């Protein structure tokens, strides 16, 4: 089968492309950049522009031909370009996105343009060319806060944390009904969505658009809700990267990684090679025509942010992390995934353990 991967030169997209090709699939890659050895696209000041104006070659490059990968440099928002690339494609793996929490509200237009409008242009082109299967890179950020249980009221979903609580160092959300402490639990794919920042909103919008495309065309959407992805070739020195990359950049510069809040916030760190395998499995996912089905892509072994910072510091020989008790309003406190559906339906289980993964990542 011929598969198009958007964002094919990016951190996750590059690993996905390699995994699909290793499985014998014919892959055509589309990205704003020529190769996977450059930084995240959100750093490029031309990120929101038509990259043809920068003099980039939209045809596949010579190095791509030599390796058997047809790679195109261009923008997923370019409908005319998509019409030249999609004939003969059987499925699309959509990784292209502006990522990260962002810096401030000035990022809002880019998140809407790249993630929302870009996905709409892609879906319209897929409909024109009769492509019926989409693997969508979604994210755990669509949930907002994770799942919590109150000893008195059972399962609850707390609202956004109040600024006055955060300023006083009260980082854990309380029961919205009685104010008592909550216990964090695994969140499953059927949980209500509640995005808390621009990136999260744009990822949920992608899911809604893809679901609309599926209903109207009879297409099938496998939405992979990535948890905290890390691994080789992760972007460096950028606020748009994940926390693991930010900590690694600090350590590489000889500085102590700065851990926000009290460092006890829970996340699920999943290795990029495991994520790439999940994308391969999703191409054959059991999705009915006209349906979007979502899966958590996670390791199943949650760790605290502070624990991850200490692991990286230990592997690189310090300095030790600094817990700052600072906060960001767009952050959530705990988000822990249930990987059960992915295991049962996709046959996906993470293989790279936390210690081995951090050891590799620290030296990459």
pLDDT at 105 (0 to 100): 87
Q: What is the pTM of this model?
A: 0.89
- Give the residue with greater pLDDT, 9 vs 63: 9
pLDDT at 33 (0 to 100): 79
What are 187's strand-pairing partners? 337
pLDDT at 237 (0 to 100): 74
Helix %, strand %, coil % for the chain, to 5?
Answer: 35, 20, 45
- What is the per-residue pLDDT across 275-284, written as a single tens digit (0 to 9) for each? 999 999 999 9
> Is pLDDT of 109 > 60?
yes
Dig out the tokens for 32 from the structure: 């704003």
Average pLDDT of span 253-271: 96
pLDDT at 67 (0 to 100): 52
> Is pLDDT of 347 > 70?
yes
Closest of 308, 297, 274 to residue 139, by C-alpha: 297
Q: Are 34 and 59 in contact (CB under 8 A)?
A: no
In the chain the beta strands, taken as DSSP E runs, fall at: 2-6, 26-31, 70-73, 91-94, 133-139, 147-150, 154-156, 182-185, 220-226, 228-230, 258-259, 266-267, 269-271, 291-297, 303-304, 322-323
| Dist CA 242 CA 361 (whole Å) | 13
Confidence of residue 273 (pLDDT cuts 50, 70, 90): very high
Average pLDDT of span 92-117: 91
**Where do we find the tokens 């942010």?**
305
pLDDT at 35 (0 to 100): 55
Dig out the tokens for 139 from the structure: 């994210």
| Dist CA 102 CA 198 (whole Å) | 8
Confidence of residue 57 (pLDDT cuts 50, 70, 90): very low
**Where do we find the tokens 């699309």?**
92
pLDDT at 241 (0 to 100): 74
Query: What Å distances lie between residue 155 and 33, 97, 146, 184, 185, CA to CA?
Result: 45, 33, 11, 10, 9
pLDDT at 101 (0 to 100): 72
Q: Of the given ranges (65-69, 180-184, 225-229, 302-306), which has the lowest mean pLDDT?
A: 65-69
> Is pLDDT of 169 > 60?
yes
> Please, what are the domains in the chain?
2-146+187-363 (3.40.50.720)
> Is pLDDT of 102 > 90?
no
């Amino acid at each position: 089968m011929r598969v198009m991967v958007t964002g094919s030169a990016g951190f996750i997209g590059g690993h996905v492309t390699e995994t699909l090709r290793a499985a014998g699939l014919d892959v055509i890659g589309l990205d704003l950049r020529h190769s996977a050895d450059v930084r995240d696209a959100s750093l490029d000041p031309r990120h929101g522009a038509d990259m043809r104006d920068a003099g980039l070659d939209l045809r596949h490059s010579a190095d791509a031909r030599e390796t058997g990968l047809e790679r195109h440099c261009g923008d997923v928002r370019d409908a005319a370009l998509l019409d030249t690339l999609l004939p003969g494609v059987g499925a699309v793996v959509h990784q292209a996105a502006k990522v990260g929490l962002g810096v401030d509200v000035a990022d809002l237009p880019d998140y809407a343009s790249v993630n929302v409008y870009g996905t709409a242009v892609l879906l319209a082109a897929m409909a024109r060319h009769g492509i019926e299967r989409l693997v969508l890179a979604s994210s755990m950020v669509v949930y907002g806060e994770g799942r919590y249980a109150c000893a008195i009221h059972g399962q609850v979903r707390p609202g956004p944390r109040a600024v006055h609580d955060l300023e006083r160092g009260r980082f854990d959300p309380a029961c919205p009904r009685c104010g008592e402490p909550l216990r964090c639990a695994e969140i499953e794919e059927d949980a209500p969505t509640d995005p808390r920042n621009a990136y999260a909103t744009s990822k949920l919008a992608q899911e809604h658009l893809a679901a609309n495309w599926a209903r109207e065309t009879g297409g099938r959407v496998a939405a992979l809700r990535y948890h905290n992805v890390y691994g080789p070739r992760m972007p460096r020195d950028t606020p748009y990267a994940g926390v693991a990359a930010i900590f690694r950049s600090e350590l590489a510069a000889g500085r102590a990684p700065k851990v926000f809040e009290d460092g006890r916030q829970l996340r699920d760190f999943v290795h990029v090679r495991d994520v790439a395998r999940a994308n391969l499995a999703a191409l054959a996912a059991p999705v009915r025509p006209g349906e979007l089905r979502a899966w958590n892509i996670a390791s199943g072994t949650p760790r605290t942010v502070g624990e991850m910072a200490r692991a990286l510091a230990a592997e690189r020989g310090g300095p030790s992390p600094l817990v700052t008790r600072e906060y960001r309003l767009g952050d959530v406190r705990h988000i822990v995934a249930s990987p059960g559906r992915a295991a049962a339906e996709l046959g996906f289980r993470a293989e790279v353990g936390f210690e081995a993964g951090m050891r590799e990542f620290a030296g990459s």
